[in-house]
């Protein structure tokens, strides 16, 4: 009698009924080939288990523990502290966006986040965060937004590194990109949209060490900076992030909109 891999695999998991289990036990003793097939599957399974089982012993980053504790402690308060963004057509109800950059933001969550328009070059902070700030071709950041593929890093000036995270089409038809600028321990997360020639910064989130001027005119979203980003992107994204091919094509075409 021959047994399929499915049966053997189920045997390894103890998922067959008693009669089948003992039938295979016997068969294995008499059939070397069957024994070898079973051993092969068993080894693959053991390899996976011994590789992954210990991962649950790794320490869970504190930010997740804080997230659960804080949210459980003040479930409603947070929504009201989050800055209102101009309402665009909401995306259809569905799964919340999942951002490759979420981890960057979550690190900052521990530090406390300031929300505002921040100029990563002059260090100047502008509390009027909705005011348009344009990145024009003379700006080192321009190359990051205009020509750098997502997940590629670009050195801006020896101290600052930019890494576009993703590109998307906004509900207003413009192409927009999320980019993380890192300088030392500081991170600024920028979302900018391509105008006719420049990139207009529409959101800037900057991480900063606790105590460093929390009340300097900023509105803080200390509870959860990701909520800010999520809310913003949910409102602004027309659909999912653009794929690498689409993005590359747009870089080639200097982000020209198909409707122009």
Partner 1 sequence: MTEGRGDEDELLELLPRLRRFCFSLTGTWHDADDLMQATVKRLLEKPPPQEVILAKWMFRVCKNIWIDEVRSRKVRAATPIDDAPEAAATDGERGVMDRIMFEQVNQSMAALPDDQRVVVSLVAVEGYSYKEAAEMLGIPIGTVMSRLSRARGTLADLLADAQTA
Binding site for partner 1 (CB under 8 A): 4-6, 8-10, 13, 15, 40-41, 43-45, 47-58, 60-61, 64-65, 67-69, 71-72, 75, 94-103, 106, 149-152, 166-167, 226, 240-245, 247
Closest residue by Cα to residue 118 from 65, 181, 72, 161:
181
Considering the complex, state which of residue 4 and residue 159 has its C-beta at the smaller distance from partner 1: 4
Considering the complex, state which of residue 207 and residue 218 has its C-beta at the smaller distance from partner 1: 207
User: In DSSP terms, which residues pair with 113 in a beta bridge?
Assistant: 207
Considering the complex, state which of residue 59 and residue 84 has its C-beta at the smaller distance from partner 1: 59
* Closest CB 113 distance from partner 1, rounded Å: 14
* Closest CB 85 distance from partner 1, rounded Å: 18
Contact between 193 and 200 under an 8 Å Cβ cutoff? The reply is yes
Considering the complex, state which of residue 36 and residue 212 has its C-beta at the smaller distance from partner 1: 36
* Closest CB 252 distance from partner 1, rounded Å: 16
Considering the complex, state which of residue 22 and residue 152 has its C-beta at the smaller distance from partner 1: 152
Considering the complex, state which of residue 115 and residue 227 has its C-beta at the smaller distance from partner 1: 227
* Closest CB 13 distance from partner 1, rounded Å: 6
* Closest CB 44 distance from partner 1, rounded Å: 4
Considering the complex, state which of residue 163 and residue 198 has its C-beta at the smaller distance from partner 1: 163
Contact between 237 and 170 under an 8 Å Cβ cutoff? The reply is yes
Closest residue by Cα to residue 208 from 194, 198, 218, 197:
218
* Closest CB 257 distance from partner 1, rounded Å: 19
The secondary structure of the chain, three-state, reads: CCCCHHHHHHHHCCCCCHHHHHHHHHHHHHCHHHHHHHHHHHHHHHHHHHHHHHHHHCCCCHHHHHHHHHHHHCCCHHHHHCCCCCCCCCCCCCCCCCCCCHHHHHHHHHHCEEECEECCCCCCEECCCCCCEEECCCCHHHHHHHHCCCCCCEECCCCEEEEEEEEEEECCCCEEEEEEEEECCEEEEEEEEECCCCEEEEEEEEECCCCCCCCCCCEECCCCHHHHHHHHHHHHECCCCCCHHHHHHHHHCCCCCCCC
């Amino acid at each position: 009698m021959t047994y399929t891999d499915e049966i053997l695999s189920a045997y390894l998991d103890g998922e067959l009924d008693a009669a089948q289990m003992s039938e295979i036990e016997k068969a294995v003793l008499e059939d070397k080939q069957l024994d070898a097939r079973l051993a092969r599957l068993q080894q693959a399974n053991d390899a996976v288990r011994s590789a992954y089982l210990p991962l649950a012993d790794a320490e869970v980053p504190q930010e997740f523990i804080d997230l659960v504790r804080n949210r459980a402690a003040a479930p409603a308060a947070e929504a009201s502290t989050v800055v209102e963004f101009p309402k665009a057509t909401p995306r259809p109800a569905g799964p919340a966006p999942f951002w490759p950059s979420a981890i960057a933001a979550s690190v900052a969550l521990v530090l406390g986040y300031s929300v505002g328009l921040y100029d990563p070059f002059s260090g100047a902070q502008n509390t009027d965060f909705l005011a348009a700030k344009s990145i024009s071709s003379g700006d080192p950041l321009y190359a990051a937004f205009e020509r750098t593929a997502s997940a590629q890093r670009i050195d801006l000036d020896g101290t600052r590194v930019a890494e576009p995270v993703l590109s998307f089409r906004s509900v207003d038809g413009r192409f927009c990109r999320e980019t993380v600028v890192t300088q030392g321990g500081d991170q600024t997360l920028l979302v900018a949209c391509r105008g006719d020639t420049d990139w207009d910064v529409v959101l800037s989130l900057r991480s900063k060490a606790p105590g460093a001027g929390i009340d300097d005119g900023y509105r803080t979203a200390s509870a959860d900076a990701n909520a800010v980003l999520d809310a913003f992107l949910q409102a602004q994204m027309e659909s999912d992030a653009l794929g690498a091919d689409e993005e590359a094509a747009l870089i080639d075409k200097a982000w020209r909109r198909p409707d122009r």
